[in-house]
Amino acid sequence: MISHRFVCAAAIASACLMLTDCSGESGSSVPYPGLGALQQNAFEHQRAGSLLFVSDSGTNDVSVFSFPKGAPVRTLDAAFSEPQGECTDGKNVYVANTEASNVVEFAADGSTPTRTIDDQGYFPGFCSYDSTTGDLAVGNIISTTSGPGSIAIYRKSSGKPHFITSNKTFEIFSVQYDGSGNLFMTGFDAQFYPFFGELPAGSKHIKIICSSTSTIGFPGALGWDGRYIVVGGTGGVYRVRGCTNIGFTPLDGGGEGDFYIDGKYLVMGYPGSSSVQTYDYPKGGAAISTIGGFYLPIGVVAVKAR
């Protein structure tokens, strides 16, 4: 089993938020408290047929709920080993299966894998789909030999990956494409300081945009709202242009978890409180829905059912 120090990827805003106590003991043996601790406020609008996928690294489960309502739908049938980040191409969902060194693909309305994408040699933490090229980017936290992490690019989301590394970075956490094929990332640089970086479209070289700044705190998970790259940080999420904060969405639960933006909703997993919360976006404030009963919820993604 890998050291949980390196699987604490979603602790990108506070060290080792996820996966047990980061002492190397697995959380998988802890009984799963079960789904259904659902606290629900009324929604004025519902997106019929949308589904929310949630990875629970503490129980090795990926569960599916209606979205944004939050009613349990099913649990995916796969041999997960510390699943973390998720992403979607609009039809399929990809789950970074960290300890197994692969990414598992599911149809939006399916329960069994349609494909397993090999990522041998690395521990994948998060992923992102490029709508401009069809490429799948995977952020590899570190190598299986405890060496530096990498970005794995799967052309057209298939085949063998092209690995991109940099002597300026060590651990790669969250990754996110914008609408023009530029890939953004957060992690620790070669000196083990937090960084926010970019792999410009068509480039093979990672560019450090900035290190931790007072405007966004510790750079955390990343999202795309259709116009801006959004970075999780102190007290909420920040819309950024380069290293400049141009808009802030306060979240009562904080901005320390992995999140996904779906139109007027932002959904975030909170390992520290074992819950997933949905907010109005970009208004933020108090959660409009909370799903409890998890152990260590990490990856979240919403997709319309077929």
> Stretch 121-147: mean pLDDT, rounded?
97
Residue 142, both tokens: 């570190």
Given a cut of 80, whether residue 92 has pLDDT beyond it is yes
pLDDT of residue 33: 27
pTM of this structure: 0.86
pLDDT of residue 216: 64
From the list 33, 108, 115, the residue with the least C-alpha distance to 65 is 108
Mean pLDDT of the chain: 85
Percentage above 70 pLDDT, the chain: 82
Contact partners, residue 212, CB within 8 Å, separation at least 6: 193, 194, 195, 218, 219
Domains annotated on the chain, with CATH: 9-304 (2.120.10.30)
> Stretch 47-61: mean pLDDT, rounded?
90
Name the residue type at position 115: R
Look at 17-31, 56-70, 93-107, 207-221 and tell me which has the smallest mean pLDDT.
Answer: 17-31
pLDDT of residue 298: 96
pLDDT of residue 243: 86
Percentage above 90 pLDDT, the chain: 77
Give the tens place of pLDDT for each residue, 156-180: 999 999 999 999 999 999 999 999 9
Give the tens place of pLDDT for each residue, 183-242: 999 999 998 989 999 999 999 999 999 876 556 666 789 999 999 999 999 899 999 998
What is the C-alpha end-to-end distance of the chain, expressed in Å?
37
Helix (H, G, I), strand (E, B) or coil at 272: helix
> Stretch 109-133: mean pLDDT, rounded?
97
From the list 237, 179, 215, 170, the residue with the least C-alpha distance to 197 is 170
pLDDT of residue 213: 53
Buried b (16+ CB within 10 A) or exposed e, 258-287: bbbbbeebbbbbbbbebbbbbbebbebeeb
Query: 73: buried, middle or exposed (CB in 10 Å: 19+, 13-18, 0-12)?
Result: middle
* H/E stretch holding 132: none
Given a cut of 80, whether residue 18 has pLDDT beyond it is no
Q: How big is the CA angle at 85 (ends 82 and 273), to the nearest 5 degrees?
A: 75
Helix (H, G, I), strand (E, B) or coil at 281: coil
* H/E stretch holding 276: strand 275-280
